Amino acid sequence: MEVLGIDVGGTGIKVNIVDIESGQPIGEKFKIKTPTPATPEAIIECLLTAVENFNWKEKKIGIGFPAVIKNGISLTASNIDPAFINYNIDEEFSKALDCDVKVVNDADAAGIAEMTYGKGKGVNGLVLFLTLGTGIGSALFHNGTLLPNTELGHLKYKKSVFEKYASNSAREFHHLSWKKWAKELDVYLNHLNLLLSPDLILIGGGVSKNFDLYKQYLNVNVKVEMAALQNDAGIIGAAMAAV
């Protein structure tokens, strides 16, 4: 079965057709910038362009979206327009795209893909999957079962929240060296370890491919690994969530 998977991030939107049985993206990945402001109308415009690009006539579309999503409603908006707070996202997107659209949190989507096809495959106990990109997303699994919408990037830190210090955009914005940025990441991982005692932490998102540049600065008493699926995880997981 083929499903169109869409990963909406704070900076970019990535789209591809995913073969659900193999978990493989099978088309040519389509990328478009996340509009600013990222209002529902502007995002829908981008989604329509993506659907047109793939000439998508099938009914199913899965979308990973950077917000808490409960019962088809988006409830938060940290890196997108506040118009998404309490927005009937499944219904509005389905209407606009004339498809059966299912939206889930973007980190949850990427985590589901990583647990099925990547480093989390077959791992029992507590697995914490983090995406370090524009924001910080989290997906927590116990014996393979997801606890959705954990939002662990929003734990309080200094004058704000951890996502303002340990995300990839924080590293870029403050022009931090890998070493300096990794110090913040290390504080974050130690804090999460103290709260949750995970068995494994998987790092995904924009900086996962650079893991070798900062792993030596991490000093946390838990196994920390780079995610395997990297940038395609969000697309694959979004498609999986739709079925």
25 vs 135, which CB is nearer to ligand BGC? 135
Q: Which residue number has the CB closest to ligand BGC?
A: 135
Residues 199-228, interacting with ligand BGC (CB under 6 A):
none
Dihedral in degrees, nearest 10, Cα atoms 45, 46, 52, 54: -160
163 binds ligand BGC (CB under 6 A): yes
Examine residue 233 and tell whether it contacts ligand BGC (CB under 6 A): no
Which of 61, 80, 82, 70 has its CA nearest to residue 108? Answer: 70
CB of 111 to ligand BGC, least distance (A): 10
> Binding to ligand BGC by residue 137, rule CB under 6 A?
yes
CB of 235 to ligand BGC, least distance (A): 14
8 A C-beta contact, residue 8 and residue 106: yes
Q: Give the up-direction half-sphere exposure of residue 126: CA atoms within 13 A in the CB hemisphere.
A: 11
| Residue 135 near ligand BGC by CB under 6 A | yes
The four Cα atoms 157, 115, 60, 103 give a dihedral, to 10 degrees, of -20
Total chain residues near ligand BGC (CB under 6 A): 18
Q: Which of 62, 153, 198, 204 binds ligand BGC (CB under 6 A)?
A: 153
Q: Are strands 12-19 and 60-65 parallel, antiparallel or unpaired?
A: unpaired
Structure tokens at 162: 């951890």
Q: Would you say 56 or 93 has its CB closer to ligand BGC?
A: 93
- At residue 146's C-alpha, the angle toward residues 40 and 163, to 5°, is 55
Quickly count: other Cβ atoms within 10 Å of residue 61's Cβ.
26
Q: Rule CB under 6 A: say whether 25 interacts with ligand BGC.
A: no
Binding mask of the shown chain, residues 183 to 202, with x at each position contacting ligand BGC by CB under 6 A: --------------------
C-beta of 16 vs 76, nearer to ligand BGC? 76
**Contact 202/130 with Cβ under 8 angstroms?**
yes
Q: Does 232 bind ligand BGC (CB under 6 A)?
A: no
Kindly tell me the burial class for residue 216, based on how many C-beta atoms sit within 10 Å of its own C-beta (0-12, 13-18, 19 or more): exposed
Helices (H) and strands (E) in the chain, counts: 8, 15
Pick out residues in 91-130 that bind ligand BGC (CB under 6 A). Answer: 105-107
Q: One symbol per residue from 46 to 85: x for binding ligand BGC (CB under 6 A), - otherwise; what is it? A: --------------------xx--------x-xx------
Per residue, what are the HEC states of 154-167?
Answer: HCEECCEECHHHHC
Q: Minimum Å distance from CB 85 to ligand BGC?
A: 11
User: Can you give the binding site for ligand BGC, defined by CB under 6 A?
Assistant: 9-10, 66-67, 76, 78-79, 105-107, 131, 133, 135-137, 151, 153, 163
